[in-house]
């Protein structure tokens, strides 16, 4: 018997957690965070407590209460007896938080399958994240003590490397299949708003399952989505786990369209151009890069984006050497003071940031202030205070990200507009969604022709019937 349990993501956008079971084989498709469930009870300043391990998450419905999947250090801290591993593998469709972030809570010994790009992005998130996102690719035992050199007990931290465990990641190549117990699982790439997105085909002797992950048909990798649909149709699935984020919208847009629109705005601007975009969407970054080049300008990236581009290596759309790296003033602001030794300046920055401080293509806000017409700057809300150093005169801000979808985001958006007003910056927008339109989804379902559609990642499951 095949059973498909959608434990998260059935009537909401994201938080995908799907348990597939067949003849004793159990696999998870994604294990993401539900933004809607989280924001129902929690906010920036009211969070699930670390000290209760899983209890707050289980009580408030952020995690499903099933046995044999959660990390032993957390179970032990909660006073729950040890459990046998009860899931054979996790398959991640991509590295967005609503699909991958809660692998933090999983046992260290569960094999995790994903694309190379997904693995790189998760590593970057862990390295440059704010600390709340951790234990994605390597996990450190928590609530554990060790005996220190003085013979006293101390808390284990990441410095105690014997308590840090690499998670059991397996990189899948396009259209590679692997067997897990009674199931065979094939990875098939799709187009989405970050690199490395894929869906999965699950073959069983009682019918096949196709899982779309998040999919669109209007990005630079649209051919992959087309191929996905063709292949999905030919495997004649009994079940199609289908995303439906934009079932209620038929707006058509495209990544090329975004690139052209940004190009037009840059060409007609007489001062600095800032572009706000999702930092891990390297397709969008490519659009901005190309638009800047076409207008004879250079792209300037922040440190997090610089780190990601370097980590992507040959998989990145361009080399980090082809852009400028903007180094912000931090901590004591010593970067801007003359006659300070390099080592003292480095003390202002995290370890991972230090590598970018003194490169040939590293610049500061002073360069942007002096030569505003030379650059297009990747910038987000959290770095906007650098405007105080840049002092723009007639600048432009292009919002190249989705509209706010929570009260907190609305407030941030209003705050950003105040900053732009203060500096007399004109606001434009240019964005394309990461998801297929309603018509495209219905067309895809028609072509794949499954026996049954299981709606996922949608607030409108009923619209699949239209
Ligand atoms: Zn998603
Ligand atoms: Zn996504």
Q: What is the pLDDT of residue 466?
A: 60
173, 219: one domain? yes
Mean pLDDT of the chain: 96
What does the pLDDT look like over 417-461, one tens digit per residue?
A: 999 999 999 999 999 999 999 999 999 999 999 999 999 999 999
Residue in the block written with tokens 């300046």: 345
Residue 344 domain boundaries:
255-429
Residue 113 phi, psi (nearest 5): -110, 135
3-state secondary structure of 1: coil
C-alpha of residue 158 to centroid of ligand 1, in Å:
30
What does the pLDDT look like over 363-415, one tens digit per residue?
A: 999 999 999 999 999 999 999 999 999 999 999 999 999 998 888 899 999 99
72, 107: one domain? yes
Q: Which residues pair with 46 in a beta bridge?
A: 43
C-alpha of residue 47 to centroid of ligand 2, in Å:
23
Q: What is the pLDDT of residue 44?
A: 84
Q: What is the pLDDT of residue 446?
A: 97
184, 298: one domain? no
415, 299: one domain? yes
236, 269: one domain? no
Q: Are strands 298-301 and 324-326 parallel, antiparallel or unpaired?
A: parallel
CA-derived radius of gyration, the chain? 23
C-alpha of residue 166 to centroid of ligand 2, in Å:
25
The encoded tokens of residue 356 equal 């970018």
446, 334: one domain? no
Ligand nearest to the CA of 36: 1
| Residue 133: pLDDT band with limits 50, 70, 90 | confident
372, 299: one domain? yes
Nearest to 117 by CA among 222, 16, 194: 194
Ligand nearest to the CA of 193: 2
Q: What is the pLDDT of residue 129?
A: 80
Angle value at C-alpha 300, between 428 and 420, nearest 5 degrees: 35
CA 261, CA 204: separation in Å to the nearest integer? 46
What does the pLDDT look like over 63-76, one tens digit per residue?
A: 999 999 999 999 99
C-alpha of residue 184 to centroid of ligand 1, in Å:
24
Percent of the chain with pLDDT over 70: 99
Find the mean pLDDT for residues 125-153: 92
C-alpha of residue 253 to centroid of ligand 1, in Å:
18
91, 13: one domain? yes
Find the mean pLDDT for residues 134-161: 96
Report the CATH number at residue 132: 3.60.15.10
32, 169: one domain? yes
267, 150: one domain? no
Q: Point out the least confidently predicted range of 215-224, 271-280, 393-402, 406-415.
A: 406-415
């Amino acid at each position: 018997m095949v059973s498909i349990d959608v434990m998260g993501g059935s009537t909401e956008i994201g938080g995908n957690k799907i348990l597939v079971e067949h003849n004793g084989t159990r696999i998870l498709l994604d294990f993401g965070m539900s933004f809607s469930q989280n924001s129902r009870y929690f906010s920036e300043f009211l969070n699930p407590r670390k000290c209760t391990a899983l209890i707050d998450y289980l009580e408030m419905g952020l995690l499903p209460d099933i046995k044999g999947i959660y990390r032993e250090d957390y179970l032990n801290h909660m006073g729950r007896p040890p459990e046998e591993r009860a899931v054979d593998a996790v398959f991640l469709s991509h590295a967005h938080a609503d699909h991958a972030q809660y692998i933090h809570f999983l046992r260290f010994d569960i094999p995790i399958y994903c694309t190379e790009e997904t693995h790189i992005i998760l590593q970057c998130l862990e390295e440059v994240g704010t600390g709340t996102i951790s234990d994605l690719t390597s996990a450190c035992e928590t609530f554990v003590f060790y005996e220190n050199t003085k013979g006293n007990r101390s808390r284990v931290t990441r410095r105690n490397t014997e308590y840090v465990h690499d998670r059991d990641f397996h990189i899948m190549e396009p259209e590679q299949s692997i067997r897990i117990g009674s199931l065979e699982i094939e990875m098939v790439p799709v187009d989405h708003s970050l690199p490395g997105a894929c869906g999965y085909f699950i073959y069983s002797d009682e019918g096949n399952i196709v899982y779309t992950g998040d999919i669109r048909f209007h990005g630079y990798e649209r051919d992959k989505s087309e191929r996905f649909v063709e292949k999905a149709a030919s495997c004649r699935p009994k079940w199609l786990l289908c995303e439906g984020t934009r079932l209620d919208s038929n707006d058509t847009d495209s990544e090329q369209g975004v690139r052209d629109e940004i190009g037009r705005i840059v060409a007609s601007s007489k001062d600095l151009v800032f572009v706000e975009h999702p930092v891990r969407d390297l397709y969008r970054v490519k659009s901005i890069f190309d638009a800047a080049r076409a207008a004879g300008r250079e792209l300037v990236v922040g440190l997090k984006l610089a780190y990601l581009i370097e980590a992507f290596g040959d998989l990145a759309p361009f080399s980090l050497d082809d852009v400028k790296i903007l180094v912000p003033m931090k901590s004591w602001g010593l970067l801007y003071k003359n006659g300070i030794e390099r080592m003292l300046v480095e003390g202002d920055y995290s370890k991972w940031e230090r590598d970018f401080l003194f490169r040939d293509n590293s610049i500061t806000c002073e360069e942007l202030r002096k030569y505003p017409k030379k650059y297009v700057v990747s910038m987000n809300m959290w770095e906007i205070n650098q405007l105080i150093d840049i002092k723009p005169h007639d600048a432009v801000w292009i919002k190249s990200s989705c509209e706010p979808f929570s009260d907190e985001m609305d407030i941030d958006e209003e705050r950003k507009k105040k900053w732009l007003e203060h500096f007399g910056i004109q606001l434009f927008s240019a964005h394309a969604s990461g998801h297929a339109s309603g018509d495209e989804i219905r067309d895809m379902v028609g072509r794949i022709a499954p026996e049954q559609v299981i709606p996922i990642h949608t607030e409108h499951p009923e619209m699949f019937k239209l």
